Amino acid sequence: MTLLEVTLLVPLLGGVLLAIVGHRPVAGWINVAVGVVTFGAALAMALEVFADGPQLSPSRMFYIDAFNVYLVVLTAFVGLTTSIFSRPYMRHEVERGRVTDRRLRLYHSMYQCFLFSMLLALSTNNLGVLWVAMELATLTTVLLVSLYRTPEAIEAAWKYFILCGVGIAQALFGTVLIYFAAESKLGAGRDDTLLWTVLHDMAGGSLDPAVITLAFVFLLVGYGTKVGLVPLHNWLPDAHSEGPTPMSAVLSGLLLNVALYALVRVKMLVDASLHTNLAGQLMMGFGLLSFTVAGLFLHRQHDVKRMFSYSSIEHMGLITFGFGVGGPLATFGALLHMTVHSLTKSAIFVTVGHACQLAGTQRIDQIRGLIRTQPAIGWGLLLGTVAIAGFPPFGVFISEFLLLMATMKSWPWLTIPLLAGFGVAFAGLFRHMQRMVFGEPPPGQKPVEANMLPVVVHLALVLWLGLAIPGFLSRWFEQATILISGASPL
């Protein structure tokens, strides 16, 4: 059994196992154990790829190169740390009576199935299967968003289901169009026409430009909906804020990345056959729009999880913009930003989850004095926000700085909206932070059982990436950058 098979099968079997035992107290530990095994296998596979180069599975159904392997590792890692956090969190939710045994079982099982679908989406070589896995990721999470069964949660889940459904259907159509374009070149009757490796090898100038442009527009709308690009973002703040917090962490931290990964994979094909920067320019436009609009929306939020969801849209917009700018430097920056945003945002959601349990509400104006009641949560939230706002010495600063540099080099005028956007987002985040963290705690506010290990590990990693990107990681990013942009940034 190869490492890839382990990485994929363990979460799937874990999901099945947890569907049976998911309501017992031991389930939280099983969840963690599955996460550990998945992460171990992913890491080992990454080292293999790092040493031997890209791997194509014998059936050609799976393809692992430097680009997706690092996302596989990141997904497995955040999946693991979030499962560590979710164990005490969900127990607390059960004690408060918000979650019944049946729903807890559903939660545990779907958590692993969700991780499986993301890993499948990342590792598959077939664009059709990629779509199937993306849709599966929606299907596995939609019942988790409505886990609390409040009217708000149901509304959020329905919006998530419907809007993502509409969006992702466009992506399927785009996939059909790519297949159409490829088949007219490769001839009918082949069953490997949708394989990314086959398409990429033949793409150089031979796919019909009209079809491939149309396909990219549909795919951009489709996967862009899942990335949360404005104006297709409506579902995102709802879905990310109404579900249980561990779900928010993995949705914001991981699923957005996976959707963007799909988009970038397609962009690589489109660039190779169009020889223009059309795809990049479209992505830049959508990215910049999302970045700006989401930054402004940060200011109107009254729900802390909603606020950070908008922050996710903002950062995904920035990353999309970075991939759109193209070129080695921007691509490197975007890849780095994907990583640090994932780590930071999931850490923030973990902290926010505990903070909400502490205050008994998600409303910003009712969360007060975290640092006095429970310093760990207060500091965690403060540092997380500092990190996500792009302060040095955290990694987000480095990646944003790189993106800014790259923009200045190729589109100097666009640095102005970017800088303005940073300022707006910063102000939006910090106008509420001070009172939430430092203010006077309401009487009777008591500490909760919290596991801050994931937060500490994530923020430490982000800090490390900010101070010095370790050599193996930078070489890894470099390989991915060469794959995507065709040149080395260093």
Site of interaction with another protein (CB under 8 A): 96, 98, 126, 128-129, 131-132, 135-136, 139, 142-143, 146, 148-152, 154-159, 161-162, 165-166, 169, 172-173, 175-177, 179-181, 183-184, 188, 191, 193-194, 208, 210-211, 214, 237-238, 241-242, 297, 300-303, 305-306, 356, 360-363, 365
Report the residue number, 47 or 154, with the smaller CB distance to another protein: 154
Report the residue number, 337 or 368, with the smaller CB distance to another protein: 368
Report the residue number, 161 or 196, with the smaller CB distance to another protein: 161
The DSSP code sequence of 380-427 is HHHHHHHHHTT-TTSHHHHHHHHHHHHHHHH-GGGHHHHHHHHHHHHH
Report the residue number, 52 or 191, with the smaller CB distance to another protein: 191
Task: For the CB of residue 488, give the shortest distance to another protein in the complex, in Å.
Answer: 35
Structure tokens that stand for 90 in this block: 């969900």
Report the residue number, 36 or 139, with the smaller CB distance to another protein: 139
Report the residue number, 236 or 279, with the smaller CB distance to another protein: 236
Unique residue bearing structure tokens 């800014």: 404
Task: For the CB of residue 358, give the shortest distance to another protein in the complex, in Å.
Answer: 12
- How far is the C-alpha of 29 from the C-alpha of 119, rounded, in Å? 21
Task: For the CB of residue 266, give the shortest distance to another protein in the complex, in Å.
Answer: 15
Beta bridge partners of 64: 55
Task: For the CB of residue 80, give the shortest distance to another protein in the complex, in Å.
Answer: 26
Closest CA to 80 of 461, 464, 478: 461
Are 474 and 468 in contact by the 8 Å Cβ rule? The answer is no
Closest CA to 316 of 269, 370, 251, 398: 251
Report the residue number, 314 or 400, with the smaller CB distance to another protein: 314
Q: Give the CA count within 13 Å in the CB-facing half-sphere of 188.
A: 0
Q: Give the CA count within 13 Å in the CB-facing half-sphere of 425.
A: 29
Report the residue number, 194 or 284, with the smaller CB distance to another protein: 194
- How far is the C-alpha of 68 from the C-alpha of 121, rounded, in Å? 10
- How far is the C-alpha of 314 from the C-alpha of 279, rounded, in Å? 20
Report the residue number, 24 or 91, with the smaller CB distance to another protein: 91
Question: What type of residue sits at position 428?
Answer: G
The total number of residues shown for the chain amounts to 490
Structure tokens that stand for 185 in this block: 């070149």
N-terminal to C-terminal alpha carbon distance within the chain: 37
Task: For the CB of residue 355, give the shortest distance to another protein in the complex, in Å.
Answer: 12
Other Cβ atoms closer than 10 A to 51 = 7
Sequence-separated (6 or more) residues with CB below 8 Å from residue 444: none
Task: For the CB of residue 129, give the shortest distance to another protein in the complex, in Å.
Answer: 6
Report the residue number, 189 or 412, with the smaller CB distance to another protein: 189
Report the residue number, 149 or 275, with the smaller CB distance to another protein: 149
Task: For the CB of residue 471, give the shortest distance to another protein in the complex, in Å.
Answer: 40
- How far is the C-alpha of 173 from the C-alpha of 170, rounded, in Å? 5
Chain centroid offset of residue 176 CA: 25
Closest CA to 311 of 354, 345, 260: 345
Task: For the CB of residue 475, give the shortest distance to another protein in the complex, in Å.
Answer: 35
Report the residue number, 77 or 131, with the smaller CB distance to another protein: 131
Task: For the CB of residue 208, give the shortest distance to another protein in the complex, in Å.
Answer: 6
Task: For the CB of residue 445, give the shortest distance to another protein in the complex, in Å.
Answer: 14
Task: For the CB of residue 373, give the shortest distance to another protein in the complex, in Å.
Answer: 17
> 3-state class of 205 per DSSP?
coil
Q: Give the CA count within 13 Å in the CB-facing half-sphere of 325.
A: 32
Q: What is the SS3 string spanning 97-135?
A: CCCCHHHHHHHHHHHHHHHHHHHHHHHECEHHHHHHHHH
Sequence-separated (6 or more) residues with CB below 8 Å from residue 429: 298, 307, 311, 385, 388, 389
> 3-state class of 63 per DSSP?
strand
- H-helix or E-strand containing 458? helix 453-467
Task: For the CB of residue 369, give the shortest distance to another protein in the complex, in Å.
Answer: 19
Report the residue number, 252 or 331, with the smaller CB distance to another protein: 252
Task: For the CB of residue 458, give the shortest distance to another protein in the complex, in Å.
Answer: 23
